[in-house]
């Protein structure tokens, strides 16, 4: 019998790529999403496929899925700093209560569960590059605290289920990832810069742009996640691309890529914005024989082509679709 996998956050950026990956590998996929930040357009191509089902559900509430489940991938969560500010309570709940519900479901179904953790557990890191044994430097009550602490709690409860219940668990610490299907208005730096270039607006660099990030193309990340899921390793593993760049240099790359005539303007640096971030991927290299394959030039080109192809309503949309709105729109077609 083909294996069945539950993917939460299925309509989001990473969740939708994971759905594609598992469908491609001929798994049966159950997608789940409450669509507060996800977009059904990301998975509409999967509707009607015999191996794909979708549940419109908030995993912070009790989760029930009939039938067997072999794997659970918990990817539901707001994932950008402006979302944490807009929906802080939901952000906390999905990482904590949502994770608890899914761990319970994994026990019930005797499934292996992989949870999406984040480089944000390292906060504004004092160790560079970040290795998995670094405990982090997080402000629990700052604007990012709702995400960072929910994810830290997620790791703690996942390890507790592993040690207390001998549940098969995996924890991936995801560093900045980019690619098609990011939400153009989610405030993250890549969609922000490309959206600005496409709309003919100036590119907004926060602070002086000396802060660094390391960007991983989505297909590399998905491959790393699959390898971790199939491994027998229950400690956290960093997955990311160590190619580090300052945000100012990144803005220059986007200016060149898009050919925009607009300028780079400087805005206030958000509170608790990490000054540096780069994954140490020694563990992933050794254990999973994994490393990223797509360089930034290649990945950015694919991503820009995707954003260029979007209809104008997505380019200028301030808020994302609701489930009801989406259904209305599909019915009208
Ligand atoms: N950033 C920026 N301009 C923007 C959006 C973001 O300069 O319009 C900066 C932001 O301050 C941060 C970096 O880009 O230093 C990455 O921000 P993002 O929100 O993408 O991710 P995170 O901070 O969570 O890594």
User: Does residue 201 lie within any of the structural domains?
Assistant: no
Ligand 1 surroundings by CB, under 6 angstroms: 80-81, 176, 187-189, 192, 204-206, 211, 213, 247, 270, 273
Q: Is 134 a catalytic residue?
A: no
Q: Is the pTM of this model over 0.75?
A: yes
Q: Provide the 10 A C-beta neighbour count for residue 235.
A: 13
Q: Is the pLDDT of residue 187 over 60?
A: yes
User: Does residue 146 lie within any of the structural domains?
Assistant: yes
For residue 189, the CA-to-ligand 1 centroid distance in Å is 4
Q: Is the pLDDT of residue 323 over 70?
A: no
Residue 312's pLDDT is 83
Give the integer Cα–Cα distance in Å for 48 and 4: 17
Give the β-pairing of 236-239 and 216-217.
Answer: unpaired
Catalytic residue selected from 71, 84, 122, 147: 147
SS3 state at 169: strand
Residue 316's pLDDT is 79
Give the integer Cα–Cα distance in Å for 18 and 223: 9
Q: What whole-number percentage of the chain has pLDDT above 90?
A: 91
Residue 315's pLDDT is 81
Average pLDDT over residues 156-176: 98
Q: Which CATH number fits the domain that encloses residue 11? A: 3.40.50.720
Average pLDDT over residues 196-221: 97
Q: What whole-number percentage of the chain has pLDDT above 70?
A: 95
- Helical segments of the chain, H only: 13-24, 81-86, 88-109, 145-165, 189-199, 218-230, 247-258, 282-288, 296-308, 312-316, 323-332
The residues facing 279 across adjacent strands are: 130
Q: Is the pLDDT of residue 16 over 90?
A: yes
User: Does residue 247 lie within any of the structural domains?
Assistant: no
- Determine the structural domain holding residue 138 and report its residue range: 4-181+216-241+278-294+319-332
User: Does residue 211 lie within any of the structural domains?
Assistant: no
Average pLDDT over residues 161-186: 97
Nearest ligand 1 atom, CA 187: 5
Q: Is the pLDDT of residue 39 over 90?
A: yes
For residue 262, the CA-to-ligand 1 centroid distance in Å is 19
278-289, pLDDT tens digit by residue?
999 999 999 999
Residue 307's pLDDT is 97
User: Does residue 260 lie within any of the structural domains?
Assistant: no
Could you tell me the pLDDT band of residue 227, with boundaries at 50, 70 and 90?
Answer: very high
User: Does residue 101 lie within any of the structural domains?
Assistant: yes
How many domains, the chain?
1
- Of 85, 178, 189, the residue with max ligand 1 atoms within 8 A of its CB, to mutate for a pocket test, comes to 189
Nearest CA to ligand 1 atom 16: 189
Q: Is the pLDDT of residue 327 over 90?
A: no
Nearest CA to ligand 1 atom 6: 189
User: Which has the higher per-residue pLDDT, 163 or 330?
Assistant: 163
Q: Is the pLDDT of residue 301 over 70?
A: yes
User: Which has the higher per-residue pLDDT, 314 or 284?
Assistant: 284
Q: Is the pLDDT of residue 333 over 90?
A: no
- Spell out the residues 6+ positions from residue 274 whose beta carbon is closer than 8 angstroms to its own: 122, 123, 124, 125, 211
User: Does residue 43 lie within any of the structural domains?
Assistant: yes
User: Does residue 132 lie within any of the structural domains?
Assistant: yes
Give the integer Cα–Cα distance in Å for 311 and 314: 6
Could you tell me the pLDDT band of residue 329, with boundaries at 50, 70 and 90?
Answer: low
For residue 311, the CA-to-ligand 1 centroid distance in Å is 25
For residue 188, the CA-to-ligand 1 centroid distance in Å is 5
Q: Is the pLDDT of residue 325 over 80?
A: no
Q: Is the pLDDT of residue 330 over 80?
A: no
Q: What angle do CA 91, 95, 99 make, to 5 degrees?
A: 145
Nearest CA to ligand 1 atom 13: 189
Could you tell me the pLDDT band of residue 156, with boundaries at 50, 70 and 90?
Answer: very high
Residue 1's pLDDT is 79
């Amino acid at each position: 019998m083909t294996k069945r996998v539950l993917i939460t956050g299925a309509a989001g950026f990473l969740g939708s790529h994971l759905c594609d990956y598992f469908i491609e590998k001929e798994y049966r996929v159950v997608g789940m999403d409450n669509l507060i930040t996800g977009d059904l357009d990301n998975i509409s191509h999967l509707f009607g496929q015999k191996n794909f089902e979708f549940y419109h559900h908030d995993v912070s509430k009790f989760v029930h899925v009939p039938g067997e489940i072999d794997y659970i991938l918990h990817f539901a969560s707001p994932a950008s700093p402006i979302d944490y500010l807009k929906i802080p309570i939901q952000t906390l709940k999905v990482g904590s209560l949502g994770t608890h519900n899914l761990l319970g479901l994994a026990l019930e179904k005797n499934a292996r569960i992989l949870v999406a953790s984040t480089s944000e557990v390292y906060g504004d890191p004092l160790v560079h590059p970040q290795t998995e044994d670094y405990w982090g430097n997080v402000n629990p009550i700052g604007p990012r605290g709702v995400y960072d602490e929910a994810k830290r709690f997620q790791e703690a409860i996942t390890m507790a289920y592993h040690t207390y219940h001998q549940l098969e668990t995996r924890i991936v610490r995801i560093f900045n990832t980019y690619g098609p299907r990011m939400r153009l208005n989610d405030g993250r730096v890549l969609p922000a810069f490309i959206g600005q270039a496409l709309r003919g607006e100036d590119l907004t660099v926060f602070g002086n742009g000396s802060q660094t990030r390391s960007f991983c193309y989505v297909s590399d990340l998905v491959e790393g996640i699959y390898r971790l899921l199939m491994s027998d390793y229950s400690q956290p593993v960093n997955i990311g691309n160590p190619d580090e760049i300052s945000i100012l240099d990144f803005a220059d790359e986007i200016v060149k890529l898009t050919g925009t005539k607009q300028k780079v303007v400087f805005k206030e640096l958000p509170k608790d914005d990490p000054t540096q971030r780069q994954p140490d991927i020694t563990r992933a290299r050794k254990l999973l024989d994994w490393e990223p394959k797509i360089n930034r030039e290649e990945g950015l080109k694919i991503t820009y082509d995707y954003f260029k192809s979007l209809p104008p309503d997505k380019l200028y949309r301030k808020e994302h679709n609701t489930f009801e709105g989406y259904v209305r729109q599909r019915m009208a077609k």
